Amino acid sequence: MPYTHKLDPEDSSSSELLIKQSHTAHSPNDTQNPRSQSSNKGLVFLTTLALGYVIYSISANKIFNLDAYRESVFEEARPAFLFQDNLDQDDSPYSIEEFSNPGNELYSNPPIEGNPDIPDGEGIVINSKQAFGKNGAVATDEARCSQIGVNALKEGGSAVDAAIASALCVGLLNSFSAGIGGGGFMLVRKPNGESDLIDFREMAPISATKDMFTKNITKAQIGGLSIAIPGEIKGFELAHKRYGKLKWSRLFEPTIKLARDGYKIGKMLGIHLKSLQNSLAESEAFKEVFFDANGNVLKEGDIAKRQNFADTLQKIADNGSDAFYNSELTSSMVGTIKKNNGILTEADFKSYRAITRKPLTLTYHNRKVITCPPPTSGSIFASIINILEGYNMKDLSNKAVNIHRMIEAFKFGYAQRSNLGDPAFINVEEVVKNNLSKDFAAERREKITDNTTHDYKYYEPDHDIDSQHGTTHLSVLDKDDMAVSLTSTINLLFGSRVMDKTSGVIFNDHMDDFSTPKLKNAFGLYPSPKNFIAPGKRPLSTTSAVIIENNGKVEFVLGASGGSRILTSTTQVFLNMVEFNSTLKQAVDAPRVHHQLLPEKLLVEPYYSDKILDGLRQRNHKLGTMNQGTSVVQGVRKLADGTFNSVSDGRKFGAPAAY
Contacts of 167 (CB under 8 A, 6+ apart): 140, 145, 178, 232, 236, 472, 474, 486, 488
SS3 content of the chain, % helix, strand, coil (to 5): 40, 15, 45
Residue pair 92/627 in contact (Cβ under 8 Å)? The answer is yes
Binding-site positions for L-glutamate: 201, 489-491, 513, 541-542, 563
Element (H, E) at 617: helix 610-618
CB–CB of 406/570 below 8 Å? no
β-sheet with 602-604: strand ranges across: 593-594, 602-604, 623-625
Answer yes or no: are the C-beta atoms of 536 and 206 closer than 8 Å.
Answer: yes
28 SS3 class:
coil
Per DSSP, 228 falls in state P
> Do 423 and 488 contact (CB within 8 A), yes or no?
no
Using DSSP's 3-state secondary structure scheme, residue 392 falls into: coil
Cα angle for residues 507, 144, 201 (degrees, 5° grid): 30
CB 207 within 8 A of CB 344: no
Q: Note whether 510 and 271 are within 8 A (CB).
A: no
Distances from the Cα of 538 to the Cα of 354, 370, 541, angstroms: 11, 22, 9
Enumerate the active-site residues: 471
- Report d(CA 435, CA 362) in Å as an integer: 10
Residue 558, strand partner residues? 546, 635
- Contacts for 605-608 with beta carbons within 8 Å, 24 or more apart? 605/121, 606/77, 606/81, 606/82, 606/94, 606/99, 606/125, 607/76, 607/77, 607/81, 607/82, 607/121, 607/122, 607/123, 607/124, 607/125, 608/76, 608/81, 608/121, 608/122
Let me know: does 479 contact 156? Beta carbons within 8 Å: no
Give the angle subtended at the CA of 526 by the CAs of 455 and 625, to the nearest 5°: 50
* Cβ-contact 264, 303 below 8 angstroms: yes
**Known binding-site residue numbers:** 201, 489-491, 513, 541-542, 563
What phi and psi values does residue 160 have, to the nearest 5 degrees? -70, -45
C-alpha gyration radius of the chain: 24
Cβ–Cβ < 8 Å for 614, 600: no
User: What do you get for the CA distance between the two ends of the chain, in Å?
Assistant: 9
Q: How far apart are CA 283 and CA 235, in angstroms?
A: 29
Strand duo 129-133 + 195-200: pairing:
unpaired
* C-alpha neighbours within 13 Å on the C-beta side of residue 44: 20
